[in-house]
Amino acid sequence: MHQPTQPATADNSEAPSPIVEFSFREVEEFCQWLGRHWLVLGIFMLSLAAIYFLQFTATHHVPISLTSTSTISALPILMALIAFTFIVLLAFALIPVSVIFTKKETDAPSPVSALLFSSENRRFQHQLFRRWATLVVLLAAIWSATLALFTFWGAPTGASVLVAYGAGLLAGFANLVGWRPKQWRRTHLDYWLSALFSLSVQFLAVFLCFYPAAWIVRGASSPFWGTLGLFASFFLIVLMLGMLQMAFATWVGNVIGQQQRLRKASALVMGLLVVCALVPGIGGNLAAYPFQVTASGGRGCAVLDLLPEAHTRMDPRIVKEDHKATVGLRILAEVDGDYYVRPTAADTDDVSIVRREAVSGMRACPREKSSR
């Protein structure tokens, strides 16, 4: 006989959400997958760490042997630090796209569904990509104007940055929300807050694009070509950043709702790590960060205090005249009790070695007083 349907009980009403259950199940399946393939993944990560180590020694000309026992034992830690640094940098670069996944208005369609590749959403995608490209170019132009004001006309640094930040927020809000007050009133407060957070991070991310641009033109033959190359490289890198962010947003829009999302995300990160390892400049500098941070305590420029008579066994070019300390040094690495250092003012790739037994202390370089 057919049994009547039982009414919902308190226990049923308190059952966990299907989304939560799915998330826990997916994490459990991902951990089981890692456990089944730990050997292959371990060999892959160790090989990748060795490639990063070779890129580091070749890029910074540090004479450290890969075959030494200390180097081999440090490869797993090196790979973990490289992966952590890479994930942090990647997250910092991709955080600004979080505003895309926030609903702008109550009756607006879900931004995630609009990113899916389908014929009816192509127009929205193209409009979104054009707006994002316009946004990154506007922020790049604001930073370029700020740098020009500061460099060529001597504008105060703090005031210039504040004005640039305000202009960037106005340009960003106009791009993401719109110019009309009617659009402002219909926009959710959550979207305003998300836009403020995303624009602030994007503003800083665009500024950091100056560093690789300056590295590209470091050997320019004249100030004119150096400046022109700096701004051209800067705008190109900013556009590449915008393309990376839009590609990530599209990938997230396609992956949401599918199975094995954690496995696909880890595959994406590992693939990007492989690409970075194969590019000498990127791989070498990415691997240099954990070496230098752990050796110098996070100091970009360090002065080593020396024990008495220690200068007699050191490179005289890195020792001050009083023989009590070194000049400002960039500590490239510390291996087996040896500091591999290079003067910060040096224009060569010479590397000096300082024994740890000769050092009594380490401190940051004294800051030079600004002449302005």
Please give the single-letter amino acid code of residue 338. D
Please give the single-letter amino acid code of residue 33. W
For residue range 268-292, what is the model confidence (pLDDT) as tens digits? 888 888 888 888 778 888 888 888 8
End-to-end CA distance of the chain: 93
Per the CB < 8 A criterion, the answer to whether 311 and 304 are in contact is no
Predicted pLDDT of residue 111:
55
Same domain, yes or no: 189 and 274: no
Asked whether residue 3 is assigned to any structural domain, the reply reads: no
Q: How confident is the model at residue 12 (pLDDT cuts 50, 70, 90)?
A: very low
Task: Report the distance separating Cα 328 and Cα 296, nearest Å.
Answer: 12
C-beta atoms surrounding 252 within 10 Å: 17
Question: Residue 335 has which token pair?
Answer: 């291996």
Same domain, yes or no: 152 and 290: no
- In terms of pTM, does the model score above 0.85? no
Look at residues 240, 284, 248, 254 and name the one whose alpha carbon lies nearest to residue 268.
248
Q: Is the pLDDT of residue 330 over 50?
A: yes
- DSSP per residue over 271-320, as a string? HHHHHHHHSHHHHHHHHHHHHHHHHHTS-SSEEEEE-TTGGGGS-GGGB-
Average pLDDT over the chain reads: 79
Predicted pLDDT of residue 196:
87
Same domain, yes or no: 79 and 108: no
Report the DSSP pairing between strands 338-343 and 352-355: antiparallel
Angle between helices 261-278 and 38-60 (to 10 degrees): 30
Same domain, yes or no: 317 and 282: no
Distances (CA, A) of 42 to 37, 72, 146, 175: 9, 14, 47, 45
Asked whether residue 124 is assigned to any structural domain, the reply reads: yes
Which range marks the domain in which residue 322 is found?
299-364
Q: Is the pLDDT of residue 15 over 70?
A: no
- DSSP per residue over 233-275, as a string? HHHHHHHHHHHHHHHHHHHHHHHTTSS-HHHHHHHHHHHHHHH
Q: Is the pLDDT of residue 145 over 60?
A: yes
For residue range 62-108, what is the model confidence (pLDDT) as tens digits? 988 888 777 888 888 888 888 888 888 888 888 888 787 777 766 65
Task: Report the distance separating Cα 120 and Cα 118, nearest Å.
Answer: 6
Question: Residue 199 has which token pair?
Answer: 């624009």
Q: Which residue in the block uniquely carries the two structure tokens 């926030």?
A: 102
Asked whether residue 340 is assigned to any structural domain, the reply reads: yes
Same domain, yes or no: 115 and 250: yes
Task: Report the distance separating Cα 159 and Cα 56, nearest Å.
Answer: 38
Same domain, yes or no: 208 and 265: no
Same domain, yes or no: 281 and 308: no
Q: Is the pLDDT of residue 50 over 60?
A: yes
Task: Report the distance separating Cα 217 and Cα 345, nearest Å.
Answer: 18
Q: Is the pLDDT of residue 45 over 70?
A: yes
Between 184 and 368, where is the model more confident?
A: 184
| Contact residues for 81 (Cβ-Cβ < 8 A; gap 6+) | 289, 290, 294
Total structural domains within the chain: 3
Predicted pLDDT of residue 17:
38
Same domain, yes or no: 163 and 150: yes
Task: Report the distance separating Cα 119 and Cα 136, nearest Å.
Answer: 27
| Contact residues for 87 (Cβ-Cβ < 8 A; gap 6+) | 269
Asked whether residue 20 is assigned to any structural domain, the reply reads: yes
3-state secondary structure 179-228: CCHHHHHHCCHHHHHHHHHHHHHHHHHHHHCHHHHHHHCCCCCCHHHHHH
Asked whether residue 4 is assigned to any structural domain, the reply reads: no
Domain boundary among 268, 296, 324: 296
Same domain, yes or no: 62 and 139: no
Asked whether residue 230 is assigned to any structural domain, the reply reads: yes
